[in-house]
Amino acid sequence: MNKKKENGFTLIEIIIVVVIIGFLAATIGPNLFNRVSQAEKVTTKNQIKIIQMALDNYWLDNKNYPTTEQGLRALTEKPITYPIAGNWNGPYLEKKEIPKDAWGNKFEYRSPGYNNPEKYDIWSNGEDGIEGGKDSDDITNW
C-alpha cells in the first residue's frame, strides 16, 4: 500500500509565517510613518527658507517688506496698496506662485512680526492646520 504524499503547508507553518509578518509590520511600520512625518517637516522648513530668500530680495529692491495686508502675494504680484513697491522687480519666487506647506496649507505671514519685529513672521500651522494645535506641530521662522 502506497501512501500518497500531499503537497501544501500545514496549519502550524501558516501560523508561523503570519506571526513573523505581523512582527515585521509592528516593528517596521511605525518607523516608516515616522520617516514620512520627518520628511514633511523638513520640506516645510525648506519652503520657509525659500520664502525668506524671496522676501529678502523684495527688501533689497524696495527697502521694506510686504505688509501683512499685502502678504506673500507681493512676491508674485506688484502690491497696489501702501506702501507701494516702487522698485518691484518680481516675481521673486521661481515658480511664480506661493508654495504651500507639505500638507497643502497656505503659509501664514505677518509683518512686522511679533517674534521678529524688525522683519516678519512666517509659519505653517502644521499637519493639523490649526495655529498652536495638537502637539504644537507648527513650523516657524523664529
pTM of full prediction above 0.85: no
pLDDT category of residue 4 using cuts at 50, 70 and 90:
low
Average pLDDT over residues 35-53: 90
Average pLDDT over residues 69-82: 94
Residue 1 has pLDDT above 60, yes or no: no
Residue 55 has pLDDT above 80, yes or no: yes
Domains of the chain: 12-140 (3.30.700.10)
Span 101-134, pLDDT tens digits:
999 999 999 999 999 999 999 999 998 887 876 6
Q: What is the predicted pLDDT for the residue at 137?
A: 80
- The per-residue DSSP string of the chain comes to -PPPPPPS--HHHHHHHHHHHHHHHHHHHHHHHHHHHHHHHHHHHHHHHHHHHHHHHHHHHHSSPPPTTT-GGGGTS---SSSP-TT-----STTSS----TTSPPPEEESS-SSSTTS-EEEE-TTTTSSS-GGG--EE--
